[in-house]
Amino acid sequence: MTTATGAAGAGRVVRPYGDTTGDGMVQMSFTLPVPYGGAHSKVAEGAAQQLAHKMGMDPAMVVHAKAMGPDFTFFVVYGRVHHLVELDKVQVVERDYPLLSPKEANLAIRKLLRRRMVVVGACIGTDAHTVGIDAILNIKGFAGEKGLEYYREVRVVNMGAQVSVPQLVARTQQEKADAVLISQVVTQRDAHLLNTREMSAAFREAYPAADRPVLVVGGPRFDEGMTAELGVDRIFARGTTPADVASYLVHALALRRHRHAGAPGPARSAMEEVALR
Amino acid sequence: MSKTGHMKLMLDQAAVRRARALSARVGEPIVRLAQEHTTVSVERATLRLGGITGADPEGTPWVNRLLDVVRADVGLEHGVSLPVWHALLRGEAEDLTTLAQKAAAGSVRFQVPEGREATRARTAARKQVGAGLRRIAARRRERERLVKRWGDPEQKPWIYLIVATGDIYEDMPQAQAAAREGADIIAVIRSTGQSLLDYVPEGPTREGFAGTYATQENFRLMRAALDETSREVGRYIRLTNYASGLCMPEIATLAGLERLDMMLNDSMYGILFRDINPVRTFVDQRFSRQVHARAGIVINTGEDNYLTTADAMDAAHTVTVSQLLNEHFAKEAGLADWQLGLGHAFEIDPDVPDSFRLELAHAMLARQLFPDAPLKWMPPTRHMTGDVFRGYLLNAFFNLAGAMTDQGILLVGMMTEAVVTPWLSDRDLALQNVRYVLNAAGGLHEDFRPPPDGFIAQRANQVLSESLELLEQILDHERGLLDAIADGTFGLMRRPADGGRGLEGVAERSPTYFNPASELLEAP
């Protein structure tokens, strides 16, 4: 993974745009635990104004305030901020591997492994939301892209929801899987982070470092930069498509092959071939 | 929730009749299967009706401890009632809970009585389990009295809101606030993963993941809190929970005992989406529905789930087929039309041309196929992108479709679906949305008559005919529905009859099988 800075916007500085360049206009809404109505209204609106000021909005206009029950007030605030966004200091995780079509991925896998790539997928812990893992794995796919089951050179073992870590490790060993995909949607009490750490620790224990399958975790609330902290090879956030995942897996396996072989081997040439096209 | 009366959509009536006939044929062997088997949860529910309560110091319910010992001694196939009441008559303990404690300590041996001893055990079991069922009937009469006193919601659809903090003591004030803001029905979402527990946790609980455990004490606390608020707001606020997963029969029983009003209870959801063994599910489902029928509980089925995992256009007919099967199984178990909250959802991709007309077609099809069922109308989730403004608009169209097609129960959609668990403001904005639409167009279903040869009628008839094809396809399988479920006819999930969770808790009934609850529940 590379952390790229916004080269395209080198040196550029921008401000939020309302209807004029540089006007700095933003909108926000929030709730305060204060009553509204009658004598309370002025105090409540003043409280909202104060918050907006402290957040850097100046001027701040409380355009809407409404009581929500006896103890709360909801506000909509419009206002100007004076902060500058420096585009060359924006840090993002960029894709550091070529995006392959299913056909290209199949070809690369065949050259790389001389067999089908085995991928085990699951929602671990108590998470029952298979939407994410199914979008990536099921042939039906996501956003018009077919899932990994559609890839001829990929064998998918979708274990579904609420799989325990020991079950997952056992199945991965049994299937001799090359990669493990984990989906975590539930984030209450940081369950997604705890589960992921438990999972990566179990794989570290069960496999020698060189043979460990590629560990990939995905879900809408992950920070893509936390791979080292969570002990996984890659984190995918919202909006990831099956092709992103397939391409990454090809890339990761090629790198491993290459590292093991030491010298340029078939893996590398497969990747180069793909990259050159 | 009354009958819609006149026909509004020209449905092919021959096709409607055929759909029901085919569903009955699909359902028949499944009902037989349910009658020929029992499960650990059916037996535990029976013991709960007999009055067993509490849990051991580790939190394992006494009913589980007792069942495990009985099963180890004599097997599950005869039912637990004969050996258990035989032991009570022998004087092993004065009540079921004490018997469980002694059995767990290893000081009771169970056997299946014969002859006169069996007759005496049967009589005692019938009496005690019958008392449990009478308690459920009394709670039902109590509900009817309270509804009369406090009244039903003024508008239709009834407004259904969810609370889910994980902590029952947080849930209660949230539910009360939601009721004051306009909710007619409160659903307490269960902790993720409870469906796969083969026991019902005990006591009040404050720790849950993305929801609160369904326990008898949590049921009691929440019902009491809502009674208080019902009195205050002058309408009876209904309480919903989930009779699904491995403990369906027990949870249904506890719901009946604690006067819950609606229960999520689908015939195939657990199989398809939780990988619970199909036989286990069908056996548990039938018993739980028989209990719901007695308790006057409205079931909510889970057809919306088909559309969250498959395309709402491609899978429209799977919703209809599932509704037909749910209806068949429900009626067979004794539920009346007014108790059938058959589910469906507003999940068509909003980028599809005419998506709203298509939604109306699907909703009207359900409305007209099941004219006397309340119908549960579920909001968009799949196409809620995080753009809360667009989501708010989509929810308004969802509400409008609900008003135009006379839905019974409307689950309020949140604009922050897929973003955060609903904030206080999200709920308030969502209720404003519902109120605006119902106030502006609540009676529109009286004027809305799509032309008989128009787009909407054509689409409805098309979905109906695809449903017939699917029902026929199910019947083409050697073992009908079981094989169809096994080969992935429903969605992409393949669920063989000998796979899935909870299979070890299923037994074929022996000729000496006896279950007083089943016996009493089968009686008309």
Cβ separation A161–B195 shorter than 8 A: no
Mean pLDDT of all residues in B459-465: 97
Please give the pLDDT value at position A190: 82
Cβ separation B311–A140 shorter than 8 A: yes
Could you tell me if residue A21 is inside a domain?
yes
Q: Which of A68, A140, A238 sits opposite B428 (nearest CB)?
A: A68
Please give the pLDDT value at position A222: 87
Q: Are B374 and B338 in contact (CB under 8 A)?
A: yes
The 10s digit of each residue's pLDDT in A17-63 is 999 999 999 999 999 999 999 999 999 999 999 999 999 999 999 99
Could you tell me if residue A232 is inside a domain?
yes
CA of A111, closest CA in chain B: separation in Å?
Answer: 31
Cα–Cα distance, B375 to B411 (Å, whole number): 11
Please give the pLDDT value at position A5: 55
Evaluate if residue A73 carries a pLDDT over 50. Answer: yes
Cα–Cα distance, A178 to A17 (Å, whole number): 47
pLDDT confidence tier of residue A159, bands split at 50, 70 and 90: confident
Evaluate if residue B252 carries a pLDDT over 60. Answer: yes
Size of interface A-B (CB pairs under 8 A): 58
Shared domain check, A119 and A37: no
Could you tell me if residue A103 is inside a domain?
yes
Please say which residue of A35, A58, A86 terminates a domain: A86
How many of the other CB atoms lie within 10 Å of CB of A255? 16
Mean pLDDT of all residues in B77-101: 98
Q: Which of A31, A131, A191 sits opposite B209 (nearest CB)?
A: A191
Q: Which of B177, B180, B192 sits opposite A127 (nearest CB)?
A: B192
- Into how many domains does chain A fold? 2
Mean pLDDT of all residues in B165-191: 93
Cα–Cα distance, A157 to B331 (Å, whole number): 39
Shared domain check, A69 and A22: yes
Mean pLDDT for chain B overall:
94
Shared domain check, A268 and A207: yes
Q: Are B278 and B482 in contact (CB under 8 A)?
A: yes
Residue percentage of chain B with pLDDT more than 70: 98
Q: Which residues contact B326 (CB under 8 A, 6 or more apart)?
A: B266, B267, B301, B303, B340, B342
Q: CA-based angle B17:B22:B25, to the nearest 5?
A: 130
Q: Which of A66, A126, A138 sits opposite B492 (nearest CB)?
A: A138
The 10s digit of each residue's pLDDT in A221-254 is 888 889 999 999 999 988 888 999 999 999 999 9
Chain B segment 310-369 residues within 8 A of A by beta carbon are: 310-311
Cα–Cα distance, B117 to B83 (Å, whole number): 10
Shared domain check, A31 and A128: no
Please give the pLDDT value at position A140: 66
Shared domain check, A101 and A55: no
Mean pLDDT for chain A overall:
86
Peptide bond into A242 cis (omega under 30): no
For residue A126, the chain B residue with the least C-alpha distance is: B193
Please give the pLDDT value at position B491: 63
pLDDT confidence tier of residue B517, bands split at 50, 70 and 90: very high
The three-state DSSP-derived secondary structure of chain A is CEEEECHHHCCCEECCCCCCCCCCEEEEEEEECCCCCCCHHHHHHHHHHHHHHHCCEEEEEEEEEEEECCCEEEEEEEEEECCCEEHHHCEEEECCCCCCCHHHHHHHHHHHHCCCEEEEEEEECCCCCCHHHHHHHCCCCECCECCHHHCCCEEEEECCCCECHHHHHHHHHHHCCCEEEEECCCCHHHHHHHHHHHHHHHHHHHCCHHHCCEEEEECCCCCHHHHHHHCCCEEECCCCCHHHHHHHHHHHHHHHHHHHHCCCCHHHHHHHHHHHC
The answer to whether B192 faces chain A, any CB pair under 8 Å, is yes
The answer to whether A69 faces chain B, any CB pair under 8 Å, is yes
Mean pLDDT of all residues in B179-191: 94
Please give the pLDDT value at position A248: 95
Could you tell me if residue A116 is inside a domain?
yes
Evaluate if residue A143 carries a pLDDT over 80. Answer: no
Strand, coil or helix: B53: coil
Q: CA-based angle B96:B98:B101, to the nearest 5?
A: 110
What DSSP assignment string belongs to B83-148? HHHHHHHTTS-SSHHHHHHHHHTT--------HHHHHHHHHHHHHHHHHHHHHHHHHHHHHHHHHH
Shared domain check, A105 and A77: no
Shared domain check, A162 and A58: no
Highest mean pLDDT of the ranges A213-227, A231-245, B138-152, B443-457: B138-152
The answer to whether B210 faces chain A, any CB pair under 8 Å, is yes
Could you tell me if residue A2 is inside a domain?
no
Please say which residue of A86, A118, A147 terminates a domain: A86
How many of the other CB atoms lie within 10 Å of CB of A129? 18
Mean pLDDT of all residues in B327-354: 97
Helix intervals (H) in B314-381? 316-332, 355-369
The 10s digit of each residue's pLDDT in B485-496 is 998 887 666 789
Q: Which of A72, A126, A238 to mutate to test the interface with B (most CBs of B within 10 A)?
A: A126
Shared domain check, A265 and A169: yes
Shared domain check, A80 and A100: no
Q: Which of A121-135, A182-196, B99-113, B150-164 has the lowest mean pLDDT?
A: A121-135
Cβ separation A72–B193 shorter than 8 A: no
Could you tell me if residue A129 is inside a domain?
yes
The 10s digit of each residue's pLDDT in B386-427 is 899 999 999 999 999 999 999 999 999 999 887 777 888 999
Q: Which of A75, A140, A159, A167 to mutate to test the interface with B (most CBs of B within 10 A)?
A: A140
Peptide bond into A59 cis (omega under 30): yes
Please give the pLDDT value at position A265: 41
CATH of the domain at A32: 3.30.30.60
Evaluate if residue A127 carries a pLDDT over 70. Answer: no
Could you tell me if residue A4 is inside a domain?
no
Closest to A220 measured CA to CA, from A97, A127, A138: A127
Shared domain check, A141 and A246: yes
Residue A140 known to be catalytic: yes
For residue B305, the chain A residue with the least C-alpha distance is: A131
Cβ separation B193–A188 shorter than 8 A: no
Please give the pLDDT value at position B318: 93
Please give the pLDDT value at position A3: 55
Q: Where in the sequence is the domain holding A24, given as residue range(s)? A: 9-86
Shared domain check, A113 and A178: yes
Contacts of B195 in chain A (CB under 8 A): 128
Please give the pLDDT value at position A96: 84
The 10s digit of each residue's pLDDT in B290-323 is 999 999 999 999 998 888 767 889 889 999 999 9
Q: B8, B213, B376, B392: which is the annotated catalytic residue?
A: B376
Shared domain check, A254 and A161: yes
CATH of the domain at A168: 3.40.50.280
Could you tell me if residue A1 is inside a domain?
no
The answer to whether A99 faces chain B, any CB pair under 8 Å, is no
Evaluate if residue A204 carries a pLDDT over 80. Answer: yes
Please say which residue of A43, A59, A86 terminates a domain: A86
Please give the pLDDT value at position A10: 58
Q: B199, B213, B242, B269: which is the annotated catalytic residue?
A: B269
